[in-house]
């Protein structure tokens, strides 16, 4: 799908599950015709069952409901959860059901990592928040910090066409949703928006490319909050060059990671970035799961894509980029509060001649960063496959 900038959008920033889940459930409950949902993780916890109730009620009143989950991220949905939805007419699709060998899942590569919801072709949600209770503060110290947007305007139909096309491609038997027809959408606000995806065929680096374009053009600031930060050489070089020309470059990264290896990998880059003036802030209140950025006074992005090899070179991802001063200012205020209240700024290491081990480590990291996208192309690749869950009578929902 060839994305393009479209004008006429209203965009609402949603922080964490406390804001996101009520907005999503209300939208589904008000749906009249169609609900399309894609998510990496859907668990049978209080959030998953609340989503289930909203989807079930919508399906029973005649709304066409399509739900796609990733087979690795959502491996344990039970017969009751699936059966009630399919019996009501909802269509449940699993992206590449995960295989287990001696109880262990190894097929972690090239997963469907998008988080998208489209309701009645008029409202879309895009971001990094999964349907699980660990996106709520009452989950405890491991509750995630994350963001999403609710957007209205012409780009919603573009997102809808993308999601329906993904269903058609994934079902080789051809019984998925019929082709989408373009629907005129009235302007809803002042923001311009661009829907950007990453796949393993035609759009290998679209999300990273748009980041790099924004970084190259930055004149005032680049603030990035990203959970898993280990980007390619070109993006790192862009950040360093921006800092050298006086741009306020700040990274908000994990200080209390849900995956310790993520912090360890990112920390290998700290000195490389700091010596050119990049500020690094570690978020220490709870695990950071966000994937957002603000550049200058009007460019901002929210989505599912981390800045690491999995997201930039392997997984299927989706971001929305917004050009709007009001939205950029709102997201900037959120990030500034995060840095002020819940982050520690990482002190720059003292200058000195690096030791032999540090020199070797830095050289290895440099060359991995420089070439990982090319190496990723050699990893196993396949046409994405969706499996439709049948009703109890054996028929497809």
**Catalytic residue (choose from 289, 308, 342, 389):** 289
What is the Cα–Cα distance from 206 to 202, expressed in whole angstroms? 9
Give the length of the chain: 397
80 is catalytic: no
**Catalytic residue (choose from 93, 171, 291, 389):** 291
Cβ–Cβ < 8 Å for 314, 110:
yes
What is the Cα–Cα distance from 50 to 56, expressed in whole angstroms? 10
296 is catalytic: yes
Q: Hey, is 2 helix, strand or coil?
A: coil
Count CB-CB contacts under 10 A for residue 34.
18
What is the Cα–Cα distance from 288 to 280, expressed in whole angstroms? 14
* Pair type for strands 34-39 and 64-70: parallel
392 is catalytic: no
115 is catalytic: yes
DSSP string computed for 342-383:
HEEEPPPPPP----HHHHHHHHHHHHHHHHHHHHHTTS----
* Helix 79-87 vs helix 46-60: crossing angle, to nearest 10: 20
**Catalytic residue (choose from 206, 296, 308, 324):** 296
DSSP string computed for 72-94:
TTS----HHHHHHHHHTT-EEEE
395 is catalytic: no
**Catalytic residue (choose from 113, 135, 144, 263):** 113
Bridge partners, 322 (sequence order):
193, 300
**Catalytic residue (choose from 45, 107, 120, 258):** 120
199 is catalytic: no
Question: What is the set of active-site residues?
Answer: 113, 115, 120, 289, 291, 296
């Amino acid at each position: 799908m060839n994305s393009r900038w479209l004008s006429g959008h209203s965009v609402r920033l949603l922080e964490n599950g406390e804001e996101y889940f009520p907005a999503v459930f209300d939208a589904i409950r008000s749906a009249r015709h169609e609900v399309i949902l894609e998510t990496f993780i859907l668990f049978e916890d209080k959030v998953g069952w609340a989503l289930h109730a909203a989807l079930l009620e919508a399906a029973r009143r005649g709304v066409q409901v399509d739900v796609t989950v990733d087979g690795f991220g959502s491996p344990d949905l039970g017969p009751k959860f699936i059966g009630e939805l399919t019996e009501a007419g909802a269509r449940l699709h699993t992206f590449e059901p995960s295989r287990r060998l001696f109880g262990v899942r190894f097929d972690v590569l090239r997963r469907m990592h998008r988080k998208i919801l489209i309701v009645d072709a008029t409202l879309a949600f895009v971001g990094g928040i999964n349907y699980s209770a660990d996106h709520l503060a009452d989950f405890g110290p491991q509750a995630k910090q994350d963001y999403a947007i609710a957007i209205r305007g012409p780009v919603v139909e573009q997102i809808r066409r993308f999601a329906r096309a993904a269903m058609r491609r994934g079902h080789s038997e051809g019984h998925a949703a019929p082709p989408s027809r373009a629907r005129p959408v009235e302007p809803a606000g002042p923001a311009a928006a661009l829907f950007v995806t990453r796949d393993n065929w035609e759009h290998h680096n679209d999300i990273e490319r748009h980041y790099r374009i924004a970084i190259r053009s930055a004149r005032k600031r680049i603030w990035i909050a990203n959970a898993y930060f280990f980007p390619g050489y070109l993006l790192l070089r862009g950040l360093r060059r921006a800092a050298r020309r006086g741009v306020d470059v700040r990274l908000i990264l994990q200080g209390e990671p849900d995956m310790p290896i993520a912090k360890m990998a990112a920390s290998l880059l700290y000195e490389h970035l700091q010596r050119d003036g990049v500020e690094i802030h570690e978020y220490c209140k709870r695990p950071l799961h966000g994937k957002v950025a603000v550049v200058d006074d009007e460019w901002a992005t929210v989505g599912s894509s981390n800045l690491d090899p999995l997201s930039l070179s392997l997984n299927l991802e989706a971001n929305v980029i917004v050009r709007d001063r009001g939205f950029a200012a709102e997201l900037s205020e959120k990030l500034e509060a995060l840095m002020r209240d819940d982050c520690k700024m990482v002190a720059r290491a003292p200058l000195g001649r690096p030791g032999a081990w540090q020199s070797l480590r830095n050289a290895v990291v440099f060359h991995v960063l420089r070439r990982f996208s090319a190496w990723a192309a050699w990893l196993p690749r396949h046409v994405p496959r969706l499996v439709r869950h049948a009703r109890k009578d054996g028929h497809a929902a």
